[in-house]
Structure 1
Amino acid sequence: MSVKDLFLKLLLTSGFFLVHLTVLAQSFSSDSSYYQRFPGEVTSRFYFSRKYTGVDIKDRLGEIGELNYRPNSTLNMGIGTSYHAFNLNLALGFGFLNPDVGKGDTKYLDLQVHAYPNNFAIDLFGQFYKGFHLKQEGYLTQEGENYYYRPDMKVREVGASVKYVFNGKKFSYRAAFLQTEWQKKSAGSLLVGFELYGGVAKGDSTLIPSSLMINPERDFDKMGFFEFGPNVGYAYTLVIDQHYFIMGSANGNIGLGFNNLQGDSKRTNWNVNSNYFLKGSVGYNSRRWAINANYVFSNLRLAKVDGFNNQIVTGNYRLNFIYRFLPGPKVKKALDTVNPYLYL
């Protein structure tokens, strides 16, 4: 099964899961003194965003040190809307936002779903990247080059993280990340859930630059991985004067998984690793409009193989400008047609 097929199955499964949660939502009631909902209103947004997935190769034996491969993903500008459980965002990486800085081209499809049904936080990932550069400017480059660039290097990763929010009646993820709600009083919540990730990173030749002269027996051009396990964490929103907020969320994961490195030989190891998943948001929220900046970061440590402690890092940061309004009768009818479920 390809990683694309796996991601589609994860997406389909999560879709059925979200529909099931809409039914359970009938019995859910929030504490309006802590956060306010806006049923029947449209949340419109204008935003800037950038997503990325990178590979860190860490040699604990000290032959090469650490290599940080990153894509040259675009800074995107777009618009979006939210109505009940329906969310739609459309953005493009316009040329004037992305001047050529000599990092090399990256072709990518980055699918990220961050959903917050009542008492749950669900994150789905599907990353398909080709073309990476080393993060360090000028490292291992020849004269006239800014970055060491690998147009052949590919990364394919799919994953899911599901967390139960114990204090969903007082704490709102949606207020911080979707702006469909307004957190008026400080609150936090314990988070407990489960995660799984799998994928591959590979190149047409060794992923370790030949100029570093690594021992050929440790060299590799392909890295496959899979990890799963429980997570636990905490989220908290500090609210100042009802309108200004700072929100932080941190989850730790103990994952059992394998990692295999393939070069002249194939080396595989199973191990238990500690990973972490961070979210943050800061901004201003009010009855009609809001502005905020948020960041999502996932660090996936892979099983140690032949002295390598490699990891996959995934990030997504956004700047949102929000305005809420009541739709007219015709627009409301059209929106209700495409969004038949309960308010989550």
Structure 2
Amino acid sequence: MKVVKVSLIVLLIMQSVSLNADTIPERKGFWQQIKHQAGKIIESFTAVDTNYVEPQHYKFTMMLQNTNTYEKYRLENNEGQTITLAPSPSVKVGPFVGYQWIFLGYTVDLRNFNENKDRTEIDLSLYSSRIGIDLFYRKMGNHYYIRNLFINHHTDTKALEDLPFNGFQSSIKGFNLYYIFNNKRFSYPAAFSQSTVQRRSAGSFLAGIGYTRHQTSIDIGELNRMVKEKIQFPSNHLATNEPHVAFGDYRYTDFSVSAGYGYNWVFAHNWLLASSLSAALGYKQSDGDIQHDNKWSAAYHVGKLNVDALGRFGLVWNNTKWYAGTSAIIHYYRFNRQQLTSNTLFGNLNIYVGFNFGRYKKQ
């Protein structure tokens, strides 16, 4: 909803400028100058080299989109024990309607329609020829599954694979803001928002900044209960020798700077294959606790540099009137401390089809 508000504010300001220019003659020059400067700023964010990029010709668009979201956590403690947790992927379908910079839509989660009411996923990306921004917020509740568990080389944990585990919760929120250097010839909107058409292949270096706040918690008592219940130990096995797992909660705030490269390959008329990859050097200020046998160790509170990654991929057919394609955005975050290491992977896969209408008048 924030994007809608910002877009509406821009439109209302432009309308207000026009009204005031008409109703206050003595200040007409002042308001006309503001309107002119605002128009120049907007044009600077959408200006392209038309030998490489064909601009949008229509005011309105309608689209049907399928969105598939994925998420995975892999935790490892200093004893070499690992666990991989992931919720079931969500499959959403819904319509979208757009007018110039405003794009509204609603999707229904077909797989979890009557479940996971506490599951919240917000992923929003805004693209112009010069800059782009990703906003994301995810809170998955406790609807996770154990995808893999390693305790030691003597313990077979296959009986736990793909079982639901309600003892893990996570939330992650943040943004990525980036600048596109070759913005006249390389078009992110052509690949990911269908508002322009890439006519000739081009690439560009990217640079940006980012912020992430990440929190997780795990119920070790519940996990060890499942281990004891599901794993078959020999009859002569002593209870005191039963393996126990030890993971912990962690929280961190990450500030990062990123650099990368993107390339749009026009391999046929109206067809585009796009990809970009950025690596981010982030400073993570973190704190957490390690739990073992239902007892918490002393908390740690440290700061450290880590490398994260962000990838985008897209395939689109667009003849300026009709368009169809698929796109994916993948985030990777690594949290590495002496006591605990976490690898987090999440992203979206979109499949869409739509059309534009309301052609701009030729000037």
TM-score, normalised with respect to structure 1: 0.78
The offset of 1:242, in angstroms, is 2.7
Alpha carbons of structure 1 residues 298 and 205: separation in structure 2 relative to 1, 3 Å: same
CA contact (8 A) 1:35 1:171 kept: yes
In the other structure, the counterpart of 2:320 is 287
Q: How does 1:199-218 map to 2 (within 5 A)?
A: 199-205=214-220, 209=224, 211=227, 218=246
Structure 1: 5+ residue runs without aligned partners? 1-7, 330-344
Number of residue pairs matched by the alignment? 305
Question: In structure 1, what is the Cα distance between the partners aligned to 2:131 and 2:360?
Answer: 31
Alpha carbons of structure 1 residues 24 and 303: separation in structure 2 relative to 1, 3 Å: farther
Alpha carbons of structure 1 residues 269 and 37: separation in structure 2 relative to 1, 3 Å: same
In the other structure, the counterpart of 1:226 is 253
Question: In structure 1, what is the Cα distance between the partners aligned to 2:158 and 2:118?
Answer: 22
- Identical-residue share of aligned pairs (%): 17
Question: In structure 1, what is the Cα distance between the partners aligned to 2:347 and 2:300?
Answer: 29
The offset of 1:269, in angstroms, is 3.1
Match of 1:111 among 122, 125, 130: 122
In the other structure, the counterpart of 1:298 is 331
Q: Establish whether residue 133 from structure 1 lines up as the match of residue 145 from structure 2.
A: yes
Q: How does 1:55-94 map to 2 (within 5 A)?
A: 55-59=73-77, 61-62=79-80, 64=81, 66-94=82-110
Q: Secondary structure at the match of 1:170?
A: coil
Task: Write the deviation string for residues 240-284 of structure 1: whole angstroms up to 9, x where unpaired.
Answer: 223222100100000111333323122333211011000000132
Counterpart code for 1:229: S
Match of 2:306 among 273, 296, 312: 273
Following TM superposition, the consecutive aligned residue runs of length 4 or more in structure 1 with deviations greater than 6 angstroms are 20-23, 212-216
Task: Write the deviation string for residues 76-129 of structure 1: whole angstroms up to 9, x where unpaired.
Answer: 11111222111112111235xx799xxx95841111110013411101111111
Match of 2:171 among 156, 159, 174: 156
Q: What is the RMSD computed on CA atoms of the aligned residues?
A: 3.3
Counterpart code for 1:236: Y
Counterpart code for 1:87: F
In the other structure, the counterpart of 1:31 is 49
Question: In structure 2, what is the Cα distance between the partners aligned to 1:126 and 1:46?
Answer: 23
Q: Which moved more, 1:149-158 or 1:243-252?
A: 149-158
Structure 2: 5+ residue runs without aligned partners? 14-37, 150-155, 229-241
Alpha carbons of structure 1 residues 250 and 37: separation in structure 2 relative to 1, 3 Å: same
TM-score, normalised with respect to structure 2: 0.74
In the other structure, the counterpart of 2:187 is 172
Question: In structure 2, what is the Cα distance between the partners aligned to 1:315 and 1:249?
Answer: 14
Q: Which moved more, 1:156-165 or 1:284-293?
A: 284-293
Alpha carbons of structure 1 residues 118 and 246: separation in structure 2 relative to 1, 3 Å: closer
Counterpart code for 2:123: Q
Q: How does 1:190-201 map to 2 (within 5 A)?
A: 190-201=205-216
